Structure 1
Amino acid sequence: MSSGVDSAVSAALYAHKYKNVHGIYMANWSQTATCTERDWNDVQQLCHDLKISCERVNFERDYWQTVFQPMIDKYARGLTPNPDTGCNKHVKFGKLANYLESKYHSKRWWLVTGHYARIMKHNPSGETHLLRGHSSKKDQSYYLSSIPPSIMPKVLLPIGHYIKPEIRELGKQFGLHVASKPDSQGLCFVSPDQNNFRDFLNNYLEPNPGDIVSQDGKVWGHHQGLWHATIGQRSTVSMPQGDPNFKGTWYVSAKDPVKNQLIIVRGWDHPSLFKDQANLYELDWLYPQEKVLAIPPQELQFQFHSLGKRYNIKSIDLTNDKLSVNIHPKARAMAPGQIGVIYRGNQVLASGIIM
């Protein structure tokens, strides 16, 4: 339970049907952080109102070692990591699942969460599949694309069958005090007095100045670290607008970690911003690898943003634990470090980190 309406309604749906429901709150950041204590107080109130017990567990060290520090290291190398998928893989459906198994190993147990996705049994095959949530605006299957497939039969995702307004209405019907609580935005431990996430990263990364260059190698400005820019975003460099060769809006098209350079190009639709191939490593197969590779490519789709565009797959090839995915049409601003996910319709099949 995170203290939000989604996990609260998930708990209420089962608490009103079963007697042995137990709330659990993960404190994955500083145990004295304002957001940690505020959310824990809300969880305790929710559990009191639902007449269920609640427990607070501390996975701070696990979060730091398997999610946060790897995220910092990747930003330092110019990558664009996704800590949400890492947290789900290593902590929520990793460490927490292991904790529950050790605690209830002699009993039957299930983990209920408030994610907008669905885990359902495919009756013809008996397989357990991870599917997109019913709500296209809130679907979170992308963030669950790296969880261990072995945990799926023990996971229940009730709100994946609803849309957000219905969940808020259910929250009101259950009398939950968080029914109208705003959705969380970003990471709770990023102080609200910091202007953006890069300000937060500056607390953990030493400045690493480098050049901002055009494709011909000409230096136009300087940056304080590759993490200060995102591929596809507008460049902060002021180009000579009086010169027709440079007039217009310039965008970051690539990062060169070897030379510590940001490469910029002119125009939102510059060809170098578009790619028709993604190479994935550190693969996670939620559906058996041999079955994924046997599916005709035209039945598959590729996605590299949560709620982002779905791209048709022309071909896939697995070589030396690297998955090469050719897509159509070309995708703009696909960045190394992002998570690429393979779908078949609504079903999540596999994911990996974009090289």
Structure 2
Amino acid sequence: MLSKYSSLISKRVVNGYNVQRLPSKFDNIIVAMSGGVDSSVAAAIFSEYYPNVRGIYMQNWSQSQSLDDPNKEPCYEKDWKDACRVGEHLNIPVDFINFENDYWNNVFQPMLDMYANGLTPNPDINCNTFVKFGSLVEHLDNKYGKDNYWLVSGHYSRILNEINSDASHLLRSYDKGKDQSYYLSQVASNIFPRLLLPIGNLIKPEVRSLATSCGLENANKPDSQGICFVNNSQHGKFKNFLKHYLTADEGNIVTIDSKTNEKKIWGKHSGLWSYTIGQKVGISMPQGDPNYKGTWFVSEKNKTSNELVIVKNGDNEALYNKKLSIGPFKPLGIDTIALQALCKNALKDKTLVLQYRSLQTPIHIKECEFKDLDNNEVELTLELNTKQRAIVAGQYGCLYINERVLGSGTISKTW
């Protein structure tokens, strides 16, 4: 498997970077295994040649998974069984570790707090930062000692070493349609030198082909969509899931006349947390009146008045912004002085881009202003080349130069 993998990636070089490094034969290699095909193939790549390979499965949630069917097998149990079967097939041990408390305290509760405050959080980024590459790394450091193991994950991104400096950088995956670098943009860069993301060098059909060629039972297992416990919640919808944790806080749904500033009330909402900017609102408007006929969308969540402001048509100007602030912004592996220099040069070369969602088309940046904060963090004010729809406070804004991730931070303001 290793030779087949090496031949696939041998020509997939990134300008200015070396091909992905590999461990020495007797190094400790720990593979984070989820029970899915990507992490299973990551384990298979190393299991045949390297004698000290182990899998580790993280259970981060075990509350009721299916509120309408309590007898349904929770997804974490099924995934743990799948990971064990893969380990048995590859002849590697798979350890089990429970990080539920860490997940609740560092991911789930902060997510609820942000929703309650009218923001739109991204729990996947925090899960990677605080659990998958936070609590797990701390656990492995205590068990093996720092720098005495490699951590392997099935994420679609790449950790490659720059030719000139030999520094390890986080890059987009080879398969741009599966790229997960946005979700890894807050991970501590000091673990990059011992982190391997082999799947980021492949495209999905190659991953499934490798899984089939080595006889993995989960070769055709569907990709997970979103958060496991949300998929299996009462109606399979995030809004319904959140109702079990956030209280209803009824307020008005209003329109505001752009010329007269007149406000009209059209209905009630059950909580600002249940809507996001740019979302279509299923509300009955007087279709006989041309001023109100059409589809309406959320343009603002006013936390002070607890009002949901709506506008007509999905291309309404109120849904678009050209400027935003990100802060604190956490640079990856560089200080703020180096970050400013890189961004300044990239602005000239027109290679500095923003993403505020995963897999969106990168957005070119026109201007970038810096304000230094403490702890090697900075506040950024960006002006984009073109207006963008539904940039939402609470989302992460991630900066790239070509393939390289520079870091990310929470969007605090748009205008």
TM-score, normalising length from structure 2?
Answer: 0.83
On the 8 A contact 1:252/1:262 being kept in 2, the answer is yes
Distance 1:259 1:107, change over 3 A: closer
Q: State the partner residue of 2:70.
A: none
Q: Deviations over 1:44-101 (max 9, x none)?
A: 1111110001100011100000000000111111111100000000111111011111
Cα RMSD, aligned residues only = 1.4
Q: State the partner residue of 1:292.
A: 339
Whether 1:109 aligns to 2:155 is no
Q: State the partner residue of 2:358.
A: 306
Q: Judge which range, 104-113 or 70-79, deviates more.
A: 104-113
Cα displacement (A) at 1:287: 3.9
Distance 1:66 1:250, change over 3 A: same
Whether 1:342 aligns to 2:388 is no
Mapped to 1, the partners of 2:251 and 2:326 lie a distance apart of: 28
The one of 189, 196, 220 equivalent to 1:156 is 196
On the 8 A contact 2:42/2:199 being kept in 1, the answer is yes
On the 8 A contact 1:31/1:37 being kept in 2, the answer is no
Distance 1:164 1:309, change over 3 A: same
Mapped to 2, the partners of 1:188 and 1:126 lie a distance apart of: 37
Q: Deviations over 1:188-218 (max 9, x none)?
A: 1122542410000000001011111112321
On the 8 A contact 1:25/1:43 being kept in 2, the answer is yes
Q: Deviations over 1:102-139 (max 9, x none)?
A: 10017620100000000000011111110000001100
TM-score, normalising length from structure 1?
Answer: 0.97
Q: Deviations over 1:272-330 (max 9, x none)?
A: 11111121123221141222211232320000110012111111112244211111111
Mapped to 2, the partners of 1:9 and 1:200 lie a distance apart of: 32
On the 8 A contact 1:303/1:310 being kept in 2, the answer is yes
Q: State the partner residue of 2:320.
A: 274
SS at 1:259 equivalent: coil
SS at 1:177 equivalent: coil
The one of 117, 120, 127 equivalent to 1:87 is 127
The one of 194, 203, 207 equivalent to 2:235 is 194
Q: State the partner residue of 2:45.
A: 13
Mapped to 2, the partners of 1:343 and 1:13 lie a distance apart of: 29
AA aligned opposite 1:282: P
Q: Deviations over 1:151-170 (max 9, x none)?
A: 11111000101000110000
Mapped to 1, the partners of 2:141 and 2:333 lie a distance apart of: 23
Segments of structure 2 that go 5 or more residues without pairing to the other structure are 1-32, 66-73, 257-261
Moved over 3 A (4+): none
Mapped to 1, the partners of 2:146 and 2:79 lie a distance apart of: 31
SS at 2:119 equivalent: coil
Q: State the partner residue of 1:76.
A: 116
Cα displacement (A) at 1:234: 1.1
Q: State the partner residue of 1:50.
A: 90
Whether 1:246 aligns to 2:286 is no
Q: State the partner residue of 1:204.
A: 245
Whether 1:232 aligns to 2:278 is yes
Q: State the partner residue of 1:165.
A: 205
